[in-house]
Structure 1
Amino acid sequence: MANRTLEEVSKYVEWQSQNKCKVVSAKPEHEFNDLGVEVRVWNVKTDTEGAWWVVEGDSVPMNLYPQEAYYFSADEVYSFHMGLMDRMNASSEYKPEEFIEAITLGCDIAPQLFRKLKIIASSIDTAVEIEDFQAIGVQCREILIELGNSVYFEEMASDKEQPQASNFKKKAELFLQFCLDGSDNGDYRSIIKKVTEATWDYACKITHSSNSTFYEASTCVTLCTSLVGIYENIRQKVSDPIAQCKCRVCKSKKLKIINDDLGEDGYVKKLILKCEECGENTEIVFEEVVPPLE
């Protein structure tokens, strides 16, 4: 199939729009041929639904991806799209667990979240009808609500009003403010907040859309799985006493614990770290208690 025209790309985006947006501009951003297939990535702007990437090409199904949600460059959206196409063409020995571990880089995930992620990762492989894709959107929203309940606890609100049980975006915001406080984490916190809101909004869009296809639903599953991995990484970072440490001499982060000092309450008060690069020992004293090391 030859590359699509500007008119075809514009009609596709407007057809996929839930709110009947209009394309105000569309231009080819980059062309790829490194896998023996000619693929073009379009940069499309709309009047009411923001900016989108549209990927199409020779023997490659056309699909669109929101620029504001997750895909920051033409290279990245091309890589994701081709990976998705490759998975669609893979053998029937698809294992949801491996898909989740690949997306989240194998981070530890709360059991109740991992179980639900496996369900939607399995569902996307058999989804055919519009109702199947809408159901996946519903399940993604439920996973995000469960994620909010998993990472949030009441102390994070301080003296503010407690969010409602199903208010995922507010719980996520309070979690980020609590765990990524300070100006050093400002950019990190801002980016994750944008991805969080976009993932929730995208899941809601899939839930109510009558035009969704496998590609939009699969994007929703991938975004949802990625977000769970992001939040689990933040939670694990906060509970890791040496995540921010580095050698005081050579500044290497290749450190291993050679001794720890536990208080009477069983919490870590002090650590001795050895640098695997220069051999220097570094002593870390904690002003706040740290849970016992496993």
Structure 2
Amino acid sequence: MWWIFPLPFVSSCPVVKTFGKQFNLLRCDMNKEKPQAIDPSTSACVIPPALPKGDLHKLMFRYSEQEAQEIGDYVEWQAHGEETVLHAEKVASERVMGHDHDVWDIHTDKGRWWVITNPTNLYSQELMPSLDYTLSFHIGLMARVAARRELDGSDAEREFVLVTSRKLLQAGEALDAADEAEEFQAVGMRCRECLITFIRELADGFDFGAGDDPPKAADFPAWNDLIANTVAPEASMEYVRGYLKTTGERAWRLVNWLTHAANATSADAHLAWDATAHVVANYTRAVLKMKAKAPDQCGRCKSFRVRVDWRPDLGDEGMYVARCEECGAQEHPASDQIADDN
């Protein structure tokens, strides 16, 4: 194998100049069994040594250092620090069903990997030497992963209504497997149970001021009105309060109807599940914001990018903390002042 470099390139390339001095180059002599080491300055036929992998990026065109750094960090994270990335090179990019997938050839100090994006995953080149096969495998695997039902919302929201989240996910999985009317009816029953469990979890996690005469545990319409009035009490929030009440009441009627609908269809079951998930998401977000005493606007940088995080490391049983995504400031429910997140 011959490497042919134009003369200006050889004279100006720091890598070739450096390693041309450090290694003896070999004469291409077909009449002798062993190559002879000679002075490269007098030879007309030389084979340069392999370039170090850590310097290959200096000779690449269309090289994005930021992209390569992100991919390299991903590989080292997946290797748990046991491998160091020496070279990262994007070797292919293919669009499949509207999604772009970039393929990277990664050299580490222990082996080589394919890294394919959107979503990102890595594959050993020792086990999968073919790029085209690996790309096809990746797309098929990610399609199956994407088909799995997952709930929307943050980790804090799912933690706040943990039992409800589990029941809602199970209802969704039952919906995906349903084919007949009685199975669609069962989805309605699961959604109904999910809504009842939901108001119980909210009542356990937050004081809605029901006093000594709270609504019955399974009286969802009464709890729906009480919760909506609590999270949107001001006169200026009339439309928000009305929307929350209406969506909750309609979702409750829909799931009860579906439970007894002998001619229920797949579309009916999907509508019931979506309505249930929508009610759960709306109330969870609003109640969690009140529980964490999260402000609408950061008191430090005035950004509106304030979210609630679940911090199991705080307190005896964990704590919900308001945090600004812009400046990192956070507010504990027990404190009225914003503190820097160190």
Query: TM-score if structure 1 supplies the norm length?
Result: 0.51
Shift of 1:95: 1.2
Residue ranges of structure 1 left out of the alignment (5+ in a row): 1-89, 257-270
| Residue identity opposite 2:281 in structure 1 | G
Q: What are the equivalent positions in structure 2 for 1:176-195 lying under 5 Å apart?
A: 176-195=228-247
Shift of 1:157: 4.7
Q: Give, in whole Å, the separation in 2 of the partners of 1:108 and 1:128.
A: 31
Q: 1:147 aligns with which of 195, 198, 206?
A: 198
Aligned to 1:215: 267
Matched, 1:200 2:236: no
Contact 1:149 1:171 in 2 (8 A): no
Shift of 1:116: 0.5
Q: Give, in whole Å, the separation in 2 of the partners of 1:219 and 1:275.
A: 36
Shift of 1:138: 0.8
Deviations 1:59-88 (A, max 9, x none): xxxxxxxxxxxxxxxxxxxxxxxxxxxxxx
Aligned to 1:235: 287
Aligned to 1:70: none
Aligned to 2:148: 95
Q: Give, in whole Å, the separation in 2 of the partners of 1:137 and 1:232.
A: 21
Q: Give, in whole Å, the separation in 1 of the partners of 2:273 and 2:246.
A: 17
In 2 relative to 1, CA 208–226 (structure 1 residues): closer, same or farther, beyond 3 Å? same
Shift of 1:174: 0.9
Equivalent residue pairs, number = 180
| Residue identity opposite 2:157 in structure 1 | D
Q: Give, in whole Å, the separation in 2 of the partners of 1:218 and 1:274.
A: 34
Deviations 1:186-217 (A, max 9, x none): 21111011000010011011111112111110
Shift of 1:131: 0.9
Question: Of the two structures, which has the highest relative contact order with CA contacts closer than 8 Å and spacing of 6 or more?
Answer: 1
Q: What are the equivalent positions in structure 2 for 1:250-269 lying under 5 Å apart?
A: 252-253=303-304
Contact 2:251 2:275 in 1 (8 A): yes
Q: Give, in whole Å, the separation in 2 of the partners of 1:178 and 1:215.
A: 33
Q: What are the equivalent positions in structure 2 for 1:97-112 lying under 5 Å apart?
A: 98=150, 100-101=151-152, 104=153, 108-109=157-158, 110-112=161-163
In 2 relative to 1, CA 182–131 (structure 1 residues): closer, same or farther, beyond 3 Å? same
Aligned to 1:134: 185
Query: Which structure: greater strand fraction?
Result: 1
Structure 1 runs of 4+ aligned residues shifted over 6 Å read: none
Contact 1:152 1:172 in 2 (8 A): no
Aligned to 1:119: 170
Q: Give, in whole Å, the separation in 2 of the partners of 1:201 and 1:255.
A: 34
Q: Give, in whole Å, the separation in 1 of the partners of 2:146 and 2:179.
A: 19
Aligned to 2:140: none
Aligned to 1:24: none
Residue ranges of structure 2 left out of the alignment (5+ in a row): 1-142, 308-321
Any idea what SS the aligned residue of 2:196 has? helix
| Residue identity opposite 2:283 in structure 1 | Y
| Residue identity opposite 1:121 in structure 2 | G
Shift of 1:152: 2.2
Deviations 1:255-288 (A, max 9, x none): 79xxxxxxxxxxxxxx9x9985xxxx9xx9x9x9
Same amino acid, percent of matched pairs? 22
Tell me how large the CA RMSD over aligned residues is.
Answer: 4.0
Shift of 1:289: 6.8
Deviations 1:161-194 (A, max 9, x none): 3211110121121122123212132211110110
Larger Rg: 2
Give the stretch that moved more between structures: 226-235 or 137-146: 226-235
Q: Give, in whole Å, the separation in 2 of the partners of 1:195 and 1:122.
A: 23
Give the stretch that moved more between structures: 160-169 or 193-202: 160-169
